C-alpha cells in the first residue's frame, strides 16, 4: 500500500469515525435522560461495552496494535452479540415499547464500525509494516 493510499484511507475512515463517535458517546446519557435514572446500570454497561469498539476503530484507522489480538477477537464477537441483543431484545423490554423495525437502520449505519473492529481483531500484525 502506498503512502498516498494510506492517507486517503485514513481520511475516509476519519470522515466516518468522527460523527459516529459524536453520536455514540452521548447516546447512553440521552437514554438515561429519556427513560429515567432506573436505566443508569444498563446504559453504563452499554457504554462500557461500546467504548472499546470506538477505540478499536481508531486503532484500525491509525494502524496501531494495542493488547493481544486474542483480546480483540473475543471482544469483536461479544460486541456484535451485545449490540444486537441489547438493541433488539433488551432495550424494548426496558423501555416498555414494542420493537420498531425502523431501528434496524442503525446496524446499517454502524456496519463500518463493526467491520473496523473485526479487521483490527483479525489483522496479521506480524506481517504488517507501516
CB 24 within 8 A of CB 80: no
b/e per residue, 57-71, with b = 16+ CB within 10 A?
Answer: bbbbbebeeeeeeee
Q: What is the pLDDT of residue 92?
A: 83
pLDDT above 90 as % of the chain: 41
Q: How far apart are CA 47 and CA 43, in angstroms?
A: 6
In residues, how long is the chain? 130
Task: Parse the chain into domains and list their residue ranges.
Answer: 3-127
In tens, the pLDDT along 85-102 reads 888 888 888 888 887 787
Rg of the chain (C-alpha set): 16
pLDDT above 70 as % of the chain: 95
Report the half-sphere exposure of 4 (CA within 13 A, side-chain side).
Answer: 0
Which is more confident, 126 or 51?
A: 51
Q: Is the pLDDT of residue 2 over 90?
A: no
Select, from the ranges 58-62, 91-95, 122-126, the one with the highest average predicted confidence (pLDDT): 58-62
- Give the lowest-confidence range in 36-40, 45-49, 51-55: 36-40
Q: Is the pLDDT of residue 112 over 90?
A: yes
Amino acid at each position: 500500500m502506498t503512502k498516498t493510499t494510506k492517507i486517503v484511507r485514513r481520511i475516509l475512515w476519519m470522515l466516518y469515525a468522527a460523527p459516529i463517535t459524536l453520536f455514540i458517546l452521548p447516546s447512553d446519557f440521552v437514554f438515561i435522560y429519556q427513560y429515567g435514572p432506573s436505566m443508569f446500570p444498563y446504559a453504563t454497561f452499554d457504554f462500557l461495552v461500546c467504548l472499546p469498539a470506538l477505540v478499536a476503530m481508531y486503532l484500525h484507522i491509525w494502524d496501531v496494535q494495542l493488547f493481544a489480538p486474542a483480546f480483540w477477537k473475543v471482544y469483536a464477537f461479544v460486541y456484535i452479540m451485545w449490540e444486537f441483543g441489547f438493541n433488539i431484545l433488551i432495550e424494548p423490554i426496558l423501555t416498555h415499547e414494542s420493537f420498531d423495525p425502523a431501528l434496524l437502520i442503525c446496524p446499517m449505519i454502524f456496519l463500518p464500525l463493526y467491520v473496523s473492529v473485526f479487521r483490527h481483531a483479525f489483522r496479521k500484525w506480524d506481517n504488517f509494516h507501516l
